[in-house]
Structure 1
Amino acid sequence: MNTEQNTVVRHIRTVLVEDDTPVRERLAHIIETWDQADLVAVCSTVAEANDIIDAEPINLLVTDLKLPDGNGIEVIRKLAKQQRDAQAMVISVLADERTVLEAIEAGATGYLLKDADTPDLIESILDLMAGRSPISSSIARVLVRRLSDDNKMSHLDNETAVPALTPREMDIIWGIAKGFTYGELAERLKISHQTVPVHIRNIYRKLQASNRSEAVYEAARLGIIRL
């Protein structure tokens, strides 16, 4: 891990949601023994996770999707609604297009498959907390394929309204797509750190997006940027 990542945030208050006992124990051990995280709760159901979100401030949700009493996407939606500054990472065996897109639309900003080893998980959490969107390569292929299909459809629909982004907003969306943090964007564009979130909120509104991944997806789908 590089120095920049290590200084991003310490004591990440984390909730783990996983119903498979061996996987839950392995992931819990990784998080518990990492000095930059505090494991607030380990849950095995949607209901347990929702109760924790109601009761505890958290920075990070790490969740499976297929749970005994529902889908982890329900927990992601609740987190996005109640604790908007928190981040959500999916760790799942599910990699079909519909599931991936639903998770991202719900508010997930990271998506890993369960084959991730310890260094990959920790690096991914640091990337997530630094404002990036870590995803497994197979998940990336799902998104690229969907983007390609949507771009083909957009060429057939000339009446689709494309939101007009200002030149500065274009700079920002390109930076988001490249994985730059707010601080890096401010430094590169020579604007104040307080201005960046304002531009990003405007971009989210125009693209009808709720997070970085969704904003980049919509910008690419509409042909505003090319990945």
Structure 2
Amino acid sequence: MSMGGYAKRVAIKLVVVDDQTSVREALAVMLGLAEDVDVVATATNGAEAVSVIAEYHPDVVLMDLHMPEMTGVEATARIQETAPDVRVVVLTTFEDDESILAALRAGASGYLTKEADRATLLQAVRSASLGQSVLDPRVQRRLLELATARPVSSTPFNLTARELEILGLIGEGLRNTEIAKRLVISEATVKTHINNLFAKAGFHTRTDAVRYVLNNRVETPLHPPL
């Protein structure tokens, strides 16, 4: 069902999925008030979400995890198979390791808890629509712990030493500015290395890189060349 009260220019088409009516409707109204967001539909479970997305072709889906009939993880995986251009941002009360990893492995572009305020949610929707990853700070810290705890394995992407190191830092949740400071190089140089490693590895978002590091922790040289 359309939630927009008037036509919006270059609006981000959003679908909200949650089995709790009060939460679902509150999110739809709250986010739909933004002039650059059009909540085109809502869904009560993962199975309904898959059908709604096929009908409305949204840019972003705000997805709960634990729902009847089909979970948010299952729905996310199905959406990524049938509509890979749709970005899924998980919004849940759960921030345990299993939920985080399952959502990211299914193809979610972001992971937020329901404690997030309106400004954070809007920024997440906007960032996801641009293909950027969005992670709750606590989830990001946990991913850092998980990434550094993984056994070391080599990467098959023929990355340079510097690209390999930057991949590891992305896996730790560092932003471009933080990577630049850590490596004492310019942010422009960091962006160039990231573009190159994404092209080699076939990554589309930073979440792809984080997911890879979590599954295959990369060994980085101590003093890579510039």
Length-normalised TM-score, structure 1:
0.73
Structure 2: tracts of 5 or more residues without a match: 1-8, 177-186
What is the DSSP-based 3-state SS (H/G/I as helix, E as strand, rest coil) of the residue aligned with 1:61?
strand
Q: CA offsets, 1:139-164, max 9 Å, x none?
A: 112212211210xx32xxxxx43332
Residues 62, 90 of structure 2: 8 Å contact kept: yes
> Aligned pair in 2 of structure 1 residues 36, 44: CA closer, same or farther (>3 Å)?
same
With over 3 angstroms needed to count, the CA separation of the structure-2 counterparts of 1:216 and 1:172, relative to structure 1, is same
Aligned in 2, Cα 1:171/1:144: closer, same or farther, shift over 3 Å?
A: closer
- The change in CA–CA distance for 1:162 and 1:47 in structure 2 (over 3 A counts) is closer
Q: What is the distance in 2 between the residues matched to 1:145 and 1:23?
A: 31
Structure 1 counterpart of 2:87: 87
Aligned to 2:183: none
Greater Cα offset, 165-174 or 51-60: 165-174
Point out where structure 1 has 5 or more consecutive residues left out of the alignment: 1-8, 155-159, 181-186
Question: Which position in structure 2 is the counterpart of 1:161?
Answer: 154
Q: In the alignment, which residue of structure 1 is the partner of 2:181? A: none
2:100 aligns to what SS in structure 1? helix
The Cα of 1:15 is off from its aligned counterpart by 0.9
Which residue pairs with 1:4 in the alignment? none
CA distance in 2, matches of 1:21, 1:79: 22
After TM superposition, the structure 1 stretch with the greater mean CA deviation from structure 2, 50-59 or 213-222, is 213-222
1:59 is aligned to 59
Kindly state the Cα deviation for residue 24 of structure 1 after the two structures are TM-superposed: 1.0
**For the structure 1 residues 54 and 132, does the alpha-carbon distance in structure 2 shift closer, same or farther, using more than 3 Å as the test?**
closer
SS at match of 1:148: helix
How many residue pairs get aligned? The number is 198
Contact 1:172 1:200 in 2 (8 A): no
Alignment of 1:90-105 (within 5 A): 90-105=90-105
User: Aligned runs of 1:1-227 on 2, under 5 Å?
Assistant: 10-150=10-150, 153-154=151-152, 160-163=153-156, 164-166=158-160, 173=167, 179=175, 188=188, 196=195, 200-204=198-202, 211-219=205-213, 221-224=217-220
Q: Matched residues in 1 for 2:34 and 2:56: separation?
A: 20
CA RMSD, 1 decimal: 3.2
Q: Determine helix, strand or coil for the equivalent of 2:134.
A: coil
SS at the partner of 1:70? Answer: coil
The TM-score, its normalising length taken from structure 2, stands at 0.74
What is the percent sequence identity of the aligned residues? 27
Tell me how far 1:74 sits from its aligned partner. 1.5
| 2:107 counterpart letter in structure 1 | G
- In the aligned structure 2, how far is the partner of 1:225 from the partner of 1:12? 42
